[in-house]
């Protein structure tokens, strides 16, 4: 089956393009609406952060008091002891609140992260394996692993800081206003100018930034491209040329980036300037009123202490901006997966679900037609009966519908028309998980899961003991190579583990099937040619596996079809021929054409 609907990939690029132009607002909204699970912790983080802000004000007030007392009333530490101990207590409280704020914010992010990851996984399950084909498997896995992680900064830092950037300056402003309305006015006027400038310059800077980001990505991609193509470059005697290219591009990148940065940094210059100059302004204005006797030193000093803290939360928010950008990128990918429509419905959930038969005596397809969405018929009017103890081989050119037929039987796909039944019960009336319990499946390229050889064999039954696992391996002729592995049945395979050859992997998958001991065997023979040794073993193992079971094999090898009780020749979704090898080979039909094409070449 080469047709695979890929709505995920399409939606993905769509969303990307949309946000490349806009400001990521839909993703922002999505992120907020998904804070659900972590909202309690999130509120706690904001409350604690506000608490920290209040403590900060108290600390500044106490400090101003003691300094004023010491400078203008020559009070010593003993007289000021209550305030000094009070300060120590505030220090301790602030430290505790700081640690707790971070922890609460992390909890918020953690809850969201775990929840989303599990929702994504559930989503992939309902989408079913047919939608998870091809190259975006890697992308999906990235989204579940790294994409979800990328949200942490948003929930743990950006979102709480968003609230604090409003609340803490407001609290400080209230205090400063109450003490000295002139300074308060300076803060009030310059304060909102910061977010205003941030938005104004930020808009321009954001697009500049994004362009720059893309340019960096391109440079980085070019470097990766050169590394990946290093062999090709060597073969074309072009590796030196490429080194010069890398140098030239990097140099160009430096020039263009610096040109952009000179402008882009002006925005932070403006912000910094605003904050620093208004602190200086407050200091000077306060100073003159102190000189004129309009203000107490204590008040003036408090205002001076609070002025920098007024701007700090806003500037901290700026440093978390990158976390937001990163999260938005990831959110788009996550939302795309969660919003992929599930079609066609894999499970129609009928009122009653019959338990699957323990033994499959007769599998029957009656006038089955199948297609994906509104595409052409992939299976067209297929009828067949497979009985227990019978072995059917399916042959046909690429794209004839062989894999679709297997997917249908595996329950990954439902017939658009017609009926599939097992011992008289319609397949759609069976619980798919129950039904699959009756199937042993050997795919074309079996997946080795991360774990030991033993765990891979007992995929169907994790409780199987060593004797059963080894018996299954012996039946599949896998025991011999497994014992030769450095750690035998405990050798780690799969991602990051030891690689097995195609023939070995096939035999391991056959051992899986033996251990499962299911009445129906579905096998998709490997198209890549295996070494003679493996091929012969696999043939014998399959013969063994067939005994007393119903077997349907998508066959690619003459040896396999020779063994079959019946051969079905599929072409463009239809069964065009059926019979034994001998009968079909004698007839001038597609079967013979396929056979001679193999034997004689074109």
Partner 1 sequence: MKTLLRLLSLYRPAWRWMAAGTLVALVVVLANVALMGVAGWFLAAMAAAGIAGATMNYFTPAAAIRAFAILRTGGRYLERLITHEATLRFLARLRVWFYTRIEPAAPAVLQPYRGGDLLSRIRADIDALDNFYLRTLQPAVVAAVGSVLACAFLALYDGRIAAIDLLLLALAGLGVPLLTGYLGRRPGARIVHTGAALRTAIVDTVAGMSELSVYGALPRQTERVGRLSRALIADQERMSRIAGLGAAGTMLAAQLAVWSTFVLGAGLLRAGALSGPQLPMLVLVAMASFEAVSDLPAGFQYLGHTLAAARRIFELADAPPAIADPPGPSPHPVDAGLELRGVRLRMEPSGPWVLDGIDLQIAAGRHLAVVGPSGAGKSTLAALLLRLREYQEGGVRLGGHDLRAYRAADARRLFGALTQDTHLFNTTIRENLRLAAPEADEAALRAALRAAAVEEEIMALPEGLDTYVGEGGLRLSGGQARRVALARVLLRSAPILLLDEPTEGLDMNTAAAVLDGVLEHARERTLILITHRLAGLARFDEIAVLEGGRILERGRHETLMARGGRYRRLHEVFSARPDAGG
Residues 477-536 that bind partner 1 (CB under 8 A): 494-496, 501-502, 512, 516, 527-532, 535
100 counts as binding partner 1 under rule CB under 8 A: yes
Q: Is 602 in the site for partner 1 (CB under 8 A)?
A: yes
Which listed residue (1, 67, 167, 208) binds partner 1 by CB under 8 A?
67
Q: Kindly state whether residue 233 participates in binding partner 1, applying the rule CB under 8 A.
A: yes
* Cα–Cα distance for residue pair 504/196, rounded to 1 Å: 65
For position 259 contacting partner 1 by CB under 8 A, the verdict is no
Q: Pseudo-torsion of CA 250, 251, 257, 263, nearest 10°?
A: 170
Rounded CA separation 557/539 (Å): 10
**Rounded least distance, CB 329 to partner 1, Å:** 16
Judge whether 346 and 432 are in contact, CB under 8 Å. yes
For the record, the structure tokens of 534 come out as 């493996």
Region 283-322 residues binding partner 1, contact defined as CB under 8 A: 283-284, 286-288, 290-293, 295-297, 300-301, 304
Residue 449 binds to partner 1 (criterion: CB under 8 A)? yes
262 binds partner 1 (CB under 8 A): yes
Please list every residue from 31 through 50 that binds partner 1, using CB under 8 A: none
For the bound state, the minimum distance from the C-beta of residue 479 to partner 1, rounded and expressed in Å, comes to 20
Of positions 30, 197, 321, 412, contacts partner 1 by CB under 8 A = 412
Beta carbons of 140 and 10 less than 8 angstroms apart: no
Q: Contact with partner 1 (CB under 8 A): which of 20, 174, 277, 342?
A: 277
Cβ closest to partner 1, residue 5 vs residue 397: 397
- What is the 3-state secondary structure of 76-139? CCCCCHHHHHHHHHHHHHHHHHHHHHHHHHHHHHHHHHHHHHHHHHHHHHHHCHHHCCCCHHHH
Question: Per CB under 8 A, does 182 bind partner 1?
Answer: no
Q: Which of 242, 380, 470, 563 binds partner 1 (CB under 8 A)?
A: 242
Is the CB of 348 or the CB of 398 nearer to partner 1? 398
User: How far apart are the C-alpha atoms of 245 and 233, rounded to whole Å?
Assistant: 12
Rounded CA gap, 592 and 581, in Å?
A: 9
CB of 460 to partner 1, least distance (A): 4
- Among 14, 16, 82, 114, interactor with partner 1 by CB under 8 A: 114
Joined together, the tokens standing for residue 152 give 């942490």
3-state secondary structure 185-247: HHHHHHHHHHHHHHHHHHHHHHHHHHHHHHHHHHHHHHHHHHHHCHHHHHHCCCHHHHHHHHH
Q: Between the CA of residue 534 and those of 190, 258, 477, what are the distances in Å?
A: 78, 60, 9
CB 475 within 8 A of CB 440: no
Q: Tell me which stretch binds partner 1 (CB under 8 A): 234-242, 374-382, 416-424, 479-487.
A: 234-242
Residues 146-175 within binding reach of partner 1 (CB under 8 A): 146, 149, 152, 156
Size of the site for partner 1 (CB under 8 A): 162
Per rule CB under 8 A, is residue 230 in the interface with partner 1?
Answer: yes
CB 34, CB 109: distance < 8 Å: no
Stretch that binds partner 1, among 161-169, 203-211, 255-263, 323-331 (CB under 8 A): 255-263
Q: Name residues contacting partner 1, limited to 562-601 (CB under 8 A).
A: 571-572, 590, 593-599, 601
DSSP 146: I
């Amino acid at each position: 089956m080469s047709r695979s609907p890929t709505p995920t990939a399409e939606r993905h690029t769509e969303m990307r393009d949309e946000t490349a132009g806009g400001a990521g607002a839909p993703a922002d909204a999505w992120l907020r609406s998904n804070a659900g699970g972590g909202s309690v912790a999130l509120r706690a983080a904001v409350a604690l952060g506000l608490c920290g802000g209040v403590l900060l004000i108290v600390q500044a007030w106490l400090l101003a008091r003691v300094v004023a007392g010491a400078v203008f009333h020559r009070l010593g530490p003993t007289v000021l002891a209550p305030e000094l101990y009070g300060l120590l207590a505030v220090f301790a409280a602030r430290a505790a609140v700081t640690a707790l704020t971070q922890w609460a914010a992390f909890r918020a992010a953690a809850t969201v992260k775990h929840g989303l990851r599990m929702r994504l996984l559930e989503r992939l399950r309902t989408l079913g394996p047919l939608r998870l084909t091809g190259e975006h498997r890697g992308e999906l896995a990235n989204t579940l692993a790294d994409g979800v992680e990328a949200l942490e900064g948003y929930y743990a830092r950006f979102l709480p800081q968003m609230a604090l950037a409003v609340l803490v300056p407001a609290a400080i402003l209230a205090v400063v206003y109450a003490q000295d309305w002139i300074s308060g006015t300076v803060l009030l006027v310059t304060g909102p100018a910061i977010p205003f400038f941030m938005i104004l310059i930020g808009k321009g800077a954001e697009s500049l930034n994004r362009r720059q980001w893309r340019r960096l990505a391109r440079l980085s991609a070019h470097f990766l491209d050169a590394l990946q193509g290093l062999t090709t470059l060597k073969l074309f005697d072009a590796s030196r040329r490429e080194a010069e290219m890398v140098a030239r591009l990097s140099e160009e990148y430096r020039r263009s980036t610096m040109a952009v940065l000179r402008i882009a940094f002006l925005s932070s210059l403006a912000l910094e300037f605003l904050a620093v100059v208004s602190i200086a302004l407050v200091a000077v204005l306060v100073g003159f009123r102190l000189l004129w006797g309009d203000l107490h030193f204590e008040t003036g000093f408090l205002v001076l202490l609070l002025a920098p803290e007024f701007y700090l939360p806003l500037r901290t928010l700026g440093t978390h901006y990158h976390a937001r950008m990163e999260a938005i990128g990831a959110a788009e990918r996550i939302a795309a997966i969660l919003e992929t429509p599930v079609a066609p419905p894999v499970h129609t959930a009928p009122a009653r679900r019959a338990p699957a038969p323990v033994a499959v005596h007769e599998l029957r397809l009656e006038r089955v037609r199948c297609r994906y969405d509104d595409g052409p018929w992939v299976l067209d009017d297929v009828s067949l009966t497979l009985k227990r103890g019978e072995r059917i081989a399916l042959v046909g050119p690429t794209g004839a519908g062989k894999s679709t037929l297997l997917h249908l039987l595996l329950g990954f796909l439902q017939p658009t028309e017609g009926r599939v039944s097992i011992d008289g019960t319609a397949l759609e009336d069976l619980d798919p998980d129950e039904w699959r319990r009756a199937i042993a499946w050997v795919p074309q390229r079996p997946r080795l899961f991360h774990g030991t050889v033993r765990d891979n064999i007992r995929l169907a039954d994790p409780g199987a003991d060593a004797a059963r696992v080894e018996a299954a391996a012996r039946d599949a002729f896998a025991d011999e190579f497994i014992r030769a592995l450095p750690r035998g049945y405990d050798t780690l395979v799969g991602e990051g583990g030891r690689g097995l050859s195609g023939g070995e992997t096939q035999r391991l998958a056959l051992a899986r099937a033996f251990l499962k001991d299911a009445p129906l065997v579905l096998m998709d023979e490997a198209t890549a040619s295996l070494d003679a040794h493996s091929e012969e073993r696999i043939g014998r193992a399959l013969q063994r596996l067939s005994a007393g079971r119903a077997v349907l094999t998508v066959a690619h090898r003459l040896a396999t079809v020779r063994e079959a009780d019946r051969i079905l020749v599929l072409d463009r979704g239809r069964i065009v021929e059926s019979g034994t090898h001998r009968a079909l080979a004698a007839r001038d039909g597609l079967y013979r054409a396929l056979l001679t094409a193999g034997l004689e070449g074109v």
